[in-house]
Amino acid sequence: MALMPVDDALAAVLAGAHGLETEMVALEDAHSRVLARDLTALRTQPPQPMSAMDGYAVRAADVAAPPVTLRVIGEIAAGRPATTGIAAGETLRIFTGGVVPDGADAVVIQEDTVRDGDRVTVNEAVRPGRHIRPAGIDFSEGEVLLRHGHRLSDRDLALAAGMNHPALPVHRRPRLAMLATGDELVMPGATPAPGQIVYSNGYALRALARAEGAEVIDLGIAADTLDATRAAIRQARDLDVDLLVTTGGASAGDHDLVKDALEAEGTAIAFWKIAMRPGKPMMHGRLGALRVIGLPGNPVSSYVCAVLFMVPLIRALSGRSQAKHVPEPALLGADIGANDQRQDYLRANLARDGEGRQIATPVDSQDSSLLARMAAAEALIVRPPFAPAAQAGSGCLILKLPS
């Protein structure tokens, strides 16, 4: 099979991937969930004109030539509107959040007044509208303020509450099973025998998937046999998850069994091998309704492929309107050589130059096994196939990595 261009591979991974079923969740539990419908304000905010300050509700015309003494005819606290309005020469004591009474068109702050019993002397003029928040200045009933496909931020929850929604319609979280392969892997904390290494990939991948909103089930490490790999794939299928992500066993060696095992279980492989570095041996397919992403085993390759393919797929299944990454412009911090036929994703550090422009400098080694360089990197510089050599200071595109 020929190497597939990255964009074609992403299109294959995202084909038919849409937001999963809609469920209602309490507002308290809706952070980071994705709205399944447009959200309309159920009320107008503020519902009536309200005072922005503690002071006196006045007719601006009455206090145009201060000092002016007015008669205080009552008091308005937040939540307790006045039963009467004010006439010429009158005022109502008002507090922040109090409903502005009929007849008043401004609020004088208390610092500009002197109170004496039921009289108050106003020492500063105010223009009409001063310190009054008009009804609907925030939003009006019927207004769509949050859109379908939007991932809810902390501020969005406050807005939805203000719109008077106690619960929100969101897409179900994608369910993802993760399977590692490799007889050489031992768990962190164990003492590796000669030739063994510590399992690391899954920790980054599961955290990444969860941060994007997936529910993750860890299927552990399958032994490097066809039977064990097939059994683990069946387990994922029977768990009724939306997505199976495997790591390792993706390339061409005698112990790389993932593709054979997937096919033996009936998976239709959409592609195997992409024109990218790192991550060439990545594969993708479908086992019935189950989507499968087969990541390479090298830690950097698995992570970069997960960022580029697993993340957009989780976003699409979560119903997010923006599933694909949008690269940002930056300037190169070092000279880089010409690229070959594989789209390159160089691990890079970010800095700002004196004019505030973003500078991306590749880390000193791009080997796809290097965990320390990957952890230190803040972005990927995207180098298209056959890009010519480029000098420090020239433009490039980057994808920021999660912090």
Ligand X SMILES: Nc1nc2c(c(=O)[nH]1)N[C@H]1C(S)=C(S)[C@@H](COP(=O)(O)OP(=O)(O)OC[C@H]3O[C@@H](n4cnc5c(N)ncnc54)[C@H](O)[C@@H]3O)O[C@H]1N2
Site for ligand MOO, rule CB under 6 A? 277-280, 296, 298, 301, 368
> Which does residue 199 touch among ligand MOO, ligand X, none (CB within 5 to 8 A, set by kind)?
ligand X
> Which does residue 197 touch among ligand MOO, ligand X, none (CB within 5 to 8 A, set by kind)?
ligand X
Q: Smallest distance from the beta carbon of 333 to ligand X, in angstroms?
A: 26
> Which does residue 299 touch among ligand MOO, ligand X, none (CB within 5 to 8 A, set by kind)?
ligand X
Q: Which is nearer to ligand MOO, 101 or 297 (CB)?
A: 297
Q: Smallest distance from the beta carbon of 3 to ligand X, in angstroms?
A: 10
Q: Which is nearer to ligand MOO, 113 or 339 (CB)?
A: 339
> Which does residue 204 touch among ligand MOO, ligand X, none (CB within 5 to 8 A, set by kind)?
none
Query: Euclidean distance between the first and final Cα of the chain, in Å?
Result: 36
Q: Smallest distance from the beta carbon of 252 to ligand MOO, in angstroms?
A: 12
> Which does residue 362 touch among ligand X, ligand MOO, none (CB within 5 to 8 A, set by kind)?
none
Q: Which is nearer to ligand X, 278 or 319 (CB)?
A: 278
Q: Which is nearer to ligand MOO, 5 or 136 (CB)?
A: 5
Q: Which is nearer to ligand X, 264 or 331 (CB)?
A: 264
Contact positions vs ligand X (CB under 6 A): 180, 182, 184-185, 197, 199-202, 247-253, 256, 278, 280-281, 296-299, 301, 368
